[in-house]
Amino acid sequence: MEDVYLRPKIPDGEYIVEFVRYYTAEMFREKTPKVCMEFAIVQGEYEGFPLERFYSAGRLIGSPGEDGGFKAKSQTCIMLLEYCACFPNQEISRLDRIPMSRWKEGRFSVFARSTKLNHQRRAVPAQLQFSVIHKIVKRVEECPLP
């Protein structure tokens, strides 16, 4: 059965999260290959709150789904920029071989924001807005936020 509840919203800001899982999907009339990474807030008032980060992929490899294969869009795509910021010592030589298991290794500082526009650049009414990760800032060793 499909989920019937709307995704919740939290205040925009910086949060510390842990990786939960990732999956691949084809969105927007099955034309755009996407990689979705799911995280959960690990401290503070919103501990346990789920947040997602969506990236465009160059293409999917195999069937879409959990732990699905993909090729990154380009050498300078947002996904790889954020990945390398979190794992600066990770060697990457191919766009279709990015070790996603590295995300299980720690906690990450992210900036969350509410969706104010949809994929067609149309305004989203306040009661339909939800929170997503706007940017994965860095990997953190200790939780610096109170």
Per the rule left: phi > 0, alpha: psi between -120 and 50, beta: everything else, 4 is alpha
Q: What local confidence, expressed as pLDDT, does residue 5 receive? A: 82
Contacts of 37 (CB under 8 A, 6+ apart): 19, 21, 22, 52, 53, 55, 103, 133
pLDDT mean over 32-40: 95
pLDDT mean over 1-12: 80
* pLDDT digits 0-9 by tens, 99-118: 999 999 999 999 999 999 98
* pLDDT digits 0-9 by tens, 38-87: 999 998 899 999 999 999 999 999 999 999 999 999 999 999 999 999 99
- The domains of the chain are located at 13-140
Instruction: Using the predicted structure, report yes or no on whether residue 4 has a pLDDT greater than 90.
Output: no
Q: What local confidence, expressed as pLDDT, does residue 27 receive? A: 84
**Contact by Cβ (8 Å): 139, 107:** yes
Lowest-pLDDT choice from 1-5, 21-25, 33-37, 72-76: 1-5
User: Strands (DSSP E) along the chain, which ranges?
Assistant: 13-27, 32-41, 50-61, 69-72, 107-114, 131-140
**Residue 22 in tokens:** 């990732």
DSSP label at residue 133: E
Instruction: Using the predicted structure, report yes or no on whether residue 144 has a pLDDT greater than 50.
Output: no
* pLDDT digits 0-9 by tens, 130-140: 999 999 999 99
Cα dihedral across residues 107, 109, 113, 118: positive or negative: negative
Instruction: Using the predicted structure, report yes or no on whether residue 1 has a pLDDT greater than 90.
Output: no
Apex 115 CA angle, 74 and 108, nearest 5: 60
